[in-house]
A = this chain, B = another copy of it.
Amino acid sequence: MVVVVKPDVPQDKIEHLVKWLEEKQIIVRTFQGQQQCVLGLIGDTNNIDSGMLRSLDIVESVGKLTEPFKAVNRKIHPDDTVIPAPDGKPLIGGGHFAMIAGPCSVESREQITLVAKKVKEAGATMLRGGAFKPRTSPYDFQGLGQEGLDLLLEAKKATGLPIVTELMDLRDIDRFEQVDVIQIGARNTQNYDLLKEIGKLPNTILLKRGLAGTINELLMSAEYIMASGNENVILCERGIRTYEFAHTRNTLDLSAVPILKKLTHLPVVVDPSHGTGRVDLVPSMSYAAAAAGADGIMVEVHNDPACALCDGPQSLTPEQFTEMAAKVFKIREAIQ
């Protein structure tokens, strides 16, 4: 249920209503906008008389919340969520575009520091890099682990860029304390126990759409995180599995961007590197993502793509990234 409160209702009256609802085992999510307060009622609302609510003098209107996703629903949070950076400035959302770049895997101090500096110069706002890697084969390189995390934190210190890196195992959570944005990969999008745990953290979460996940499943996984208390969730479109495999690893679903922007207040980024698996398609798909209204893009950049330990063929060089970033910013202006 969605309860829109009349303008200029004093705070204590709202709180009184919220308390009354909570006594009825309803979870109430309060959205306080500039002019308006909206209450999202989650749980078994069958016992709540909507007519009675509607008749209250502080209530403007009462609507249904038919979607299975509640906390992430734009209906109960009409404004865009703006996620803050560690320094308090906006990191992403509400018109703040995030340019996330870096190598697939952290490989060495030289590599990650060099790439971090280069992408920062080109306009990147966050540094990505994998320390724990989900690999299809148990015999493949599984990432540098703790050492990779340490190197990322060094690169963060050197450049000031907030870092994004993937968490796979909930037993590793303590290691991620200083990681600004914890990524949940496409293979763990529906690992609900992991989602519940990261929902208790203060870190921002970047949640990837499942390998062949639906838009609704992505929203429900974000709901798991928010239901555990974490409000800072970024959604990431990264390509879906289709019958078209001759030319691309995945089919990037850019229509997911405007669809998600309608359904949820959470920011949406696009990962064209994994979304296509081909570096030559990354620039045009980045332009398209920006034109489609994404709140950010996340791309792989490597100083020496040919020698990357992982996903080399889909990584841009720093030079290619620099050129691409400039055009992305131009497109952002064009659609304003």
Contacts and interface: CB of A to CB of B under 8 A. Distances in A.
Interface of A: 42-43, 68, 70, 134-139, 168-171, 187-188, 190-193, 196, 210-217, 220, 223-224, 227-228, 240-248, 251-259, 262, 275-276, 280-281, 284-285, 287-293, 327, 330-331, 333-335
Contacts of A253: 242, 244, 251-252
Contacts of A280: 258, 262
A214 B252 CA distance: 15
A255 B240 contact: no
Given A134-B190, A259-B281, A262-B280, 10 more contacts: A134-B192, A137-B220, A190-B211, A216-B246, A242-B242, A251-B253, A252-B253, A252-B254, A255-B276, A327-B334
A318 to B, nearest CB: 21
Contact of A245 (B135, B228, B243, B262): B243
11 contacts: A136-B220, A137-B220, A138-B220, A138-B224, A138-B227, A190-B211, A191-B191, A210-B211, A215-B247, A240-B242, A243-B243
B281 A255 contact: yes
A333 B333 CA distance: 11
Contacts of A224: 138
A80 B164 CA distance: 41
A288 B287 CA distance: 7
Contacts of A276: 255
